[in-house]
Amino acid sequence: MMKAMSLVTKPNLQLIYVSDIDRSTAFYTMLFGANPVFESPRYVAFAAEGEDLFAIWTGGNKPDVSAPRFSEVGIMLPSNDDVDRLFCKWKDNSEIKIMQEPYDEVFGRTFLVEDPDGHIIRVCPID
């Protein structure tokens, strides 16, 4: 008799919609300090942890540039000090829009930046 295989599912792709794939690819390449692992005309993926991916996608041939963007992207670092160090590195970069400077939250030190489509990027310590 064949043994039934157990399929474990877990999130391993964070995908956000963008209005201009080239602009967003350049932004995230600069922000992450890494090149994409996959590129196509409407979908670009960056390596995350292990086999996980962070991807940007236009959502179709003609993305709706007026569609509101409500995603929050998380970048979790090892410590509160690392959060402050990254803020110091990013704060003078004119390509990075700081939405909120570092402050203490219930989960630790955090700050917010915004991508070209208005997605919030939260930097915080690992939970």
- Residue-wise pLDDT for 54-106, tens only, equals 999 887 777 766 766 667 899 999 999 999 999 999 999 999 999 999 999 99
Q: Which domain holds residue 118?
A: 69-127
pLDDT band at 127 (very low <50, low <70, confident <90, very high): confident
What CATH number does residue 81 fall under? 3.10.180.10
Q: Is 15 a member of any domain?
A: yes
DSSP alpha helix (H) spans, 2-121: 21-32, 80-90
φ, ψ (nearest 5 deg) of residue 45: -120, 140
| The pair of three-digit structure tokens given for residue 29, joined into one six-digit string | 């390449």
> With 90 as the cut, is the pLDDT of residue 109 above it?
yes
From the number of C-beta atoms within 10 Å of its C-beta (0-12, 13-18, 19+), residue 56 rates as: buried
Examine the domain organization and report whether 39 and 56 are in the same domain. Answer: yes
The tally of CA atoms less than 13 A away on the side-chain side of residue 64 is: 4
